[in-house]
Chains A and B, each alone.
Chain A
Amino acid sequence: MRYAVFVLFLCFMITGCATTNLPPVTKDSKFEEDEKRLWLRSEEEQKALNRSGIIYRDEDLDAYLNGIARKLQPPEVYARIPFQVNVIKNNLLNAFAYPNGAIYVHTGILARMDNEAQLATLLAHEMTHATHRHMIEQFRDVKNKTAFLATLQVTTAGLGGYGSLAILLGTIGTVAAVTGYSREHEAEADREGFRLMLNAGYDPTEAPKLFLHLKKEVEEEKTKEPFFFGTHPRLTDRVENYETLLKTHSQGHQESIQNTEIFLGKIRRVILDNARDDLKAGRFKIAERGVEKYSKIESESAEAYCLLGDIRHQRGEVNDVETAKDHYQRAISINSSYPDSHKGIGLIHYKRKEKTLAKKALELYLSLSPQASDRAFIEEYIHQCQEGGKE
């Protein structure tokens, strides 16, 4: 672990020494051999990532995200870099771009956004890394390329519980997602990204807000995530840069698109799915915040109330079980055929040895969800209820 930290430190040192300056990509840009190889490698890593099963599949959402990306870049840049935005099903605060324009946004960061302007800020930042060729600039600044890539592969081994995710991202993906680029490159991505979102008519005051939210959350929850947008110093840099840009570059700006409703409508499923992942990871407060956000979009959702019930039931603090029961009952009153609410109520009765009530609710759960993955457990509980004993 110490070795990996040292290697990571070394990478930061190396990336901090960026000096090569290449012009941004235009329709006439010609790439040299090393840059072509970097693209090829990116494509290979991207293919492996897309096959890995961690991609969040939602065609409507993909079309929406790619539509926003198209608004940010002129067609001639798109002709040279075919940007493609994808979503990764993972609750960490992360987004990154490969040099060939493949952009990946984690459900974790997407679920924290409030509107389209914040999404545009993030996408424009990531797109700039590709258009301004930051990866090849960084690569050319290192004398021993082979050693550099090998070193980064070792680095992925030191990412704690996130190591397996880093393996899926590949070497280039990990550079983009974990170590990030030099401060100069990141500042350039902030600057150029801000210009792009401003030109597309988005509300510039939203640019720093996303990073402020994330910074606040990292501070409140004391989360320790290894990825770029989950680390406190990097978020502080983003907030400071965007606030400065806001003061100096947005004077006289007329348009202020936020598209909050459209945005929240498109990502509402992501918010709920991500909250479920947060619950699975024991991040109760964050999960509850996610469901509450979802409930503001979809106020009468049995699924959301049931998930709130699960969060309280699993957290198990004072009064949590009673609150969980209320949530499950509310879910049933909204949609009595949603199976999991009956399971939640049934398990509460089962734990309280209220066997008749437990049996009834659990049987109803199984009848509504005959293929339930936990069927064997539920049948065992029903069997226990039938065995008699005191209630």
Chain B
Amino acid sequence: MKKSLLVIVLLLIGCAPWVQVGGLYKMESHNYSVELPQGWMRWNKGDQLLITRDGVPLQNIQIIRRNIEEPLKYTKRKLSKTMLPQEAAEVILDNVASNKDISDFGLVENTPLRVSGISGFKAIYSYKTKDGLKVKSVYCGFIQDQWFYGINYNAPERHYFDKDITTFENVLESFKLIKTA
């Protein structure tokens, strides 16, 4: 009995809503479209779109749209409609750095970037996971009306980060808002 229960649980876990992707992907409910890389797997979790090729710990790209009124998970600071890209970047980076599960956060670069024609930021940073793995990330984001859009790439610094950075840049380049104010 216990064994069959375990099998059912394992099957259910195995059936996480991962879908193979490739090509144009429209997220009308979140007002954006993006070209997803061929052969990667996608998982939509709430406001977050997560894609990976070899598994989330090895490389992942996340696209998120969140209401700026919504509190961030780790920082006390809040986003606001009137924030400039640099100010939004500071809040987002503080949120990343305040995550209890990471250590050795280090900012490599924080520069302006236009995403879908809107002024935003591009931050590159690294950190260590609880298991001591050094991860490098790129976080691009911007605020449009009451929404914050973030496009984020994470991969182990050694070997994996360089492998898929071009894929991430292509995803970023293809990101478009469907309707702009």
Contacts and interface: CB of A to CB of B under 8 A. Distances in A.
Interface of A: 157, 159-164, 167, 280-283, 314, 316, 347, 350-351, 373-374, 376-377, 380-381, 384
B21 to A, nearest CB: 33
Given A167-B103, A381-B84, 4 more contacts: A280-B94, A282-B78, A283-B76, A314-B87
A164 B103 contact: yes
A376 B114 CA distance: 13
Nearest to B101: A163
B3 interface: no
Interface stretch (B27-35, B104-112, B150-158): B104-112
Contacts of B85: 377, 380
A373 B86 CA distance: 11
23 contacts: A157-B130, A159-B100, A161-B74, A161-B98, A161-B100, A162-B100, A163-B100, A164-B102, A164-B105, A280-B94, A281-B94, A282-B75, A282-B78, A316-B82, A347-B84, A351-B84, A376-B111, A376-B112, A377-B84, A377-B85, A377-B86, A377-B110, A380-B112
Nearest to A373: B110
B99 interface: yes
B144 interface: no
Most chain A Cβ neighbours within 10 Å, of B87, B100, B103, B104: B100
B132 to A, nearest CB: 10
A380 B60 CA distance: 30
A283 B75 CA distance: 10
Interface of B: 74-78, 80, 82, 84-87, 90, 94, 98-105, 110-112, 119, 121, 130
B62 to A, nearest CB: 21
A167 B131 CA distance: 13
Nearest to B105: A164
Contacts of A351: 82, 84
A282 B104 CA distance: 21
Contacts of A162: 100
Contacts, number: 52
Contact of B77 (A157, A282, A347): A282
Contacts of A281: 75-77, 94
Nearest to A168: B103
Nearest to B72: A282
The 9 closest A-B pairs by CB, nearest first: A164-B103, A282-B77, A282-B76, A380-B112, A377-B86, A161-B98, A376-B111, A160-B100, A163-B100
Contacts of A374: 86, 110
B70 to A, nearest CB: 15
Nearest to B111: A376
A152 to B, nearest CB: 16
Nearest to A161: B98
A314 B110 CA distance: 19
Contacts of B75: 281-282
Contact of B103 (A163, A280, A282, A377): A163
Contact of A377 (B77, B99, B112): B112
Contacts of A381: 84
B51 to A, nearest CB: 28
B83 to A, nearest CB: 9
| From A159, A280, A380, residue with most partner B Cβ within 10 Å | A380
Nearest to A162: B100
Nearest to A281: B76
A276 to B, nearest CB: 13
A253 B110 CA distance: 58
Contacts of B82: 316, 351
A157 B111 CA distance: 33
Given A283-B76, A374-B86, A384-B119, A161 B99 contact: yes
Contacts of A380: 85, 112, 119
A282 B75 CA distance: 8
